[in-house]
Amino acid sequence: MSQSPLYEIQDVFTKLFLAHEPRNELALFSGGWSKSQTFNLYFSPKCAEISSFKDLIDSYKGVPCDKPSRETEREMNLLVGEQGEWEDMIWHPYL
């Protein structure tokens, strides 16, 4: 039984993340269900500059986008990354 694309992406990203130094600019976020009723994953901008991460993004047909905001996403969760670097990118509707 294969995993959902979310878990596949998170697993591969985690392996790449752990193998890469420095890691401080690398992160994977989940937007949950957005206000447009889509489930979005976001890669930090630095990921597009590193071939192994770029290959992962391209393999799932990822597209460049603007930085998510509270107006476009109900919540943002850090799936993989160093939380201290990304605290401004983590929010929930209850906070």
Give pLDDT tens digits for 45-78: 999 999 999 999 999 999 999 999 988 888 899 9
Full residue range of the structural domain in which residue 35 is found: 5-88
Q: State residue 78's pLDDT score.
A: 95
Predicted structure pTM score: 0.87
Residue 54 lies in a domain: yes
- CA angle in degrees (0–180, nearest 5) for 20-45-6: 75
Total domains in the chain come to 1
The arithmetic mean of pLDDT across residues 4-17, rounded, is: 94
If you average pLDDT over residues 2-22, what whole number do you get? 91
The strands making up 39-43's β-sheet, listed across from edge to edge, are: 39-43, 28-33, 77-80
| Percent of the chain topping pLDDT 70 | 91
Tell whether 61 is covered by a domain.
yes
List, as own/partner pairs, every contact residues 4-11 make where C-beta atoms lie below 8 angstroms and the sequence separation is at least 24, other chains included.
5/60, 6/30, 6/39, 6/41, 9/41, 9/56, 9/60, 10/79, 10/80
Q: Is 56 helix (H, G, I), strand (E, B) or coil?
A: helix
